[in-house]
Amino acid sequence: MADVVGRSIRLFLVDGAPRGVVTAEIVNWTGKVLFAPRSKIAYALSRPEAKRTGIYFLIGEDPDQPSKSRVYIGESDDLSNRMKQHSADSSKDFWLEACLVSSKDENLTKAHVRYLESRLVEIAQKAERAIVANSQDPSPKVLPEADVADMEFFLTQIQTVLPVLGFDFLRATPAVRNGLQGSLAAQTPTSAMTASLSLSLSPREHPGLALAVEQDGEIIVLKGSRALTESYSVNTYAGLREQLIDEGRLVKESGSQYLLFAEDVTFKSPSAAAAVILNRNANGRTEWKIRSSSQSLKDYQDAQLH
């Protein structure tokens, strides 16, 4: 842990409620984030931060895929006015929370926020953690070289703050392989995995069923892993499993009794990954094993405390 560099983020609960109106700042960053649930958006828009030029995120559940978030990303030279317009827009009824990002020194220009909007839509689409509701991709905006450098730094700060507020749609999916090919049994951890735990799920009746890595608190099941087709009565994650099938990320394997992961798939917990693979409720901490030692993930994590 000696090489880890910490960050300090200041959160202020404007109305005293943990999920009420909140401001977030990073030391030595000119940006300021204003968060509000929709029920308190009027109060948030009365604040001075909402009168500035900036970008905003409207976040809620995706109506078609409730297990996924939906986000709309926009920009305005008057955030308050734009938010009032969206509140009256029936096509954006999905949003339940909003984040507004402006600059404390008020140096963000219209050109700056249009650049940020374009880049943020690009980042969110590439991350694939939420459905991006923008009907059109904002075209890239040309800025002077120095301004581009400033805005790219501004972007990194936004990507740091939003997960602290509970939003991960800008977080890049961890890269666990570099185009690794070949059979599942032949796959070995790449250099990109060195900071991760290499895991396997291998029930007695179905040896070598799936491989994954644990990284940054997430479980990434590797392409080529398999899932069972047997049906069980209880599976809390049945909806997520069906969603993966509908999206073509989990497909029927030709000539076998299994489903096949057509690409790496990221899960928020080991139990979610195990339940999708086994098609039943499962304790992922005991089902997943460390590949190098066959120790359960639970035993491995518990051992780190001693």
Does the residue 259 lie in any domain? yes
Does residue 193 register a pLDDT over 60? no
* Backbone phi and psi for residue 252, each to the nearest 5 degrees, phi listed first: -70, 130
The pLDDT, as a whole number, for residue 82 is 96
From its phi and psi, is residue 68 left (phi > 0), alpha (psi between -120 and 50) or beta?
A: beta
Single residue among 133, 164, 195 that ends a domain in this structure? 164
Higher-scoring residue by pLDDT: 43, 172: 43
d(CA 189, CA 81): 51
d(CA 143, CA 155): 15
User: pLDDT band for position 184 (50/70/90)?
Assistant: very low
- Domain check: are 84 and 46 in the same one? yes
Single residue among 131, 164, 197 that ends a domain in this structure? 164
Does the residue 177 lie in any domain? no
d(CA 244, CA 263): 11
The pLDDT, as a whole number, for residue 190 is 39
The pLDDT, as a whole number, for residue 192 is 39
Angle (CA) 67 72 74, round 5°: 160
Q: Tens digits of per-residue pLDDT, 69-102? A: 999 999 999 999 999 999 988 888 899 999 999 9
User: pLDDT band for position 36 (50/70/90)?
Assistant: very high
Q: Output the average pLDDT for the chain.
A: 89
Most confident of 51-55, 92-96, 239-243, 253-257: 51-55
Report which secondary-structure segment, H or E, holds 113.
Answer: helix 110-127
Q: Tens digits of per-residue pLDDT, 102-125? A: 999 989 999 999 999 999 999 999
Cα dihedral 87, 66, 250, 263 sign: positive
The first and second tokens of residue 129, run together, are: 């953690």
Domain count of the fold of the chain = 2
The pLDDT, as a whole number, for residue 188 is 43
Does the residue 3 lie in any domain? no
Does the residue 133 lie in any domain? yes
d(CA 204, CA 104): 59
- Domain check: are 283 and 248 in the same one? yes
Q: Tens digits of per-residue pLDDT, 130-163? A: 999 998 877 777 899 999 999 999 999 999 999 9
Higher-scoring residue by pLDDT: 216, 16: 16
- Domain check: are 146 and 199 in the same one? no
Q: Tens digits of per-residue pLDDT, 120-129? A: 999 999 998 8
The first and second tokens of residue 24, run together, are: 């977030």
Single residue among 130, 164, 198 that ends a domain in this structure? 164
Does the residue 43 lie in any domain? yes
pTM: 0.78
d(CA 260, CA 244): 11
The residues, any chain, with a CB within 8 Å of residue 99's CB and separated by 6 or more, are 33, 34, 35, 56, 57, 59, 162, 165, 167
User: pLDDT band for position 299 (50/70/90)?
Assistant: very high
The pLDDT, as a whole number, for residue 175 is 62
Percent of the chain exceeding pLDDT 70 equals 91
- Domain check: are 127 and 239 in the same one? no
Does the residue 174 lie in any domain? no
Q: Tens digits of per-residue pLDDT, 201-226? A: 999 999 999 999 998 888 999 999 99
Does the residue 77 lie in any domain? yes
Structural domain range at position 39: 9-164
- Domain check: are 111 and 199 in the same one? no
- Domain check: are 24 and 138 in the same one? yes
The pLDDT, as a whole number, for residue 62 is 87
- Domain check: are 37 and 142 in the same one? yes
Does the residue 50 lie in any domain? yes
d(CA 121, CA 136): 10
The pLDDT, as a whole number, for residue 186 is 42
- Domain check: are 144 and 223 in the same one? no
- Domain check: are 158 and 258 in the same one? no
Cβ–Cβ under 8 Å, residues 108 and 51 = no
The pLDDT, as a whole number, for residue 191 is 36
- Domain check: are 160 and 283 in the same one? no
- Domain check: are 107 and 232 in the same one? no
Does residue 185 register a pLDDT over 60? no
- Domain check: are 152 and 199 in the same one? no
